[in-house]
Amino acid sequence: MFIVESYPLAVALCIVTMLCWGSWANTQKLASKEWRFQLFYWDYAVGVLLLSLLLAFTLGSSGSGGRGFLADLQQAEPKWLGSAFLGGVIFNLSNILLVAAIDIAGLAVAFPVGVGLALVLGVITTYLATHQGNVHMLALGVAAIVIAIILDGLAYRRLAAGGQKTPAKGIVISVAAGLLMGWFYSFVAQAMGTIDPDTRALTPGRLSPYTAIVLFSAGLLLSNFIWNSIMMVKPFSGPPVAFADYFTKGNIRLHLIGILGGMIWNLGMAFSIIASTKAGAALAYGLGQGATMIGAFWGVFIWKEFKDAPPGTNKFLAAMFAFYLLGLAILVASKL
């Protein structure tokens, strides 16, 4: 299997993760013009699994280090398979809530609040699970990102005061998504074994990054029959969504947009997990969740979600981006 053996490469992969995690939701924005996000999400879940299998049978099955995907799957202990699978189940619930929040409040609000909160909790829970990284610098980086979240909240208040009404439940749903999303990564990280720097051998019984991604993705897709089905019957906004709509209202273009969204997100997840073997799980997750800043960028500058905000709001947004960049820089430096 392909193994990351240099820290600069690990950081580069985490930056790709940040771009993927911050950009996939644009596919939802494109599809939402024609059909409900619940229908989009079925294709998204399929895209997640397809990408994981593609990587497992390519990068995960080539090279001289570690174990090939199928061999790794056969030797894995059930509890670690279950841990990675559970991570997918937890993430899927949180991500469906995030997608609902984007549908209600927009990218520029849902991402900084939901994903920003997930970053803070995820760094903490992942560090406690793996004890990898400089705890003081991780804490300092997280503190800067908390300030960025607060600044985004202040910008949102000015937006509402300016007459653009975003339902308050969009914020509430974003918070709920962030609280759940902060837990999933630690289950996947714990399921993975360490890689011996000399022999490049994996811990027996544990999972390779590629196997962990496949089990995670399977948990996401299978749990979708529970979480997304509930969301279709009892949506946060609008009337219930009929299951038949997926077949009668969709077309190839819409299905491909959803699948592309899932593949983009899971490419980021895979690179984060692969990079974590060198960078440490807490840093890999925290740096990848800089996606918050990327998502906010799309919302502010491309989708113009703050175009009707009163004068002075841009100062809060600029400060938000500045503190996110500062926090991410500190997280990177924590491993140097």
SS3 of 187-223: the string is HHHHHECCECCCCCCECCCCECHHHHHHHHHHHHHHH
Q: What is the mean pLDDT of the chain?
A: 89
Question: Tokens 């607060």 sit at which residue?
Answer: 150
Rounded to two decimals, the pTM is: 0.85
Token reading at 247: 């077949």
| CA-derived radius of gyration, the chain | 19
Cβ-based neighbour number of residue 319 at 10 Å = 17
The DSSP symbol for 111 reads I
Q: What is the pLDDT of residue 231?
A: 95
Domain boundary assignment for the chain = 7-333
The string of pLDDT tens digits covering residues 266-281 is 999 999 999 998 988 8
Res. 161: pLDDT tops 70: no
- Which amino acid does the sequence have at 207? L
Give 127's contacts (C-beta < 8 A, 6+ positions apart). Answer: 133, 135, 138, 281, 282
The DSSP symbol for 64 reads S
Token reading at 271: 């690179």
The string of pLDDT tens digits covering residues 131-150 is 877 889 989 988 998 888 78
Phi, psi dihedrals of residue 195, rounded to the nearest 5°: -110, 120
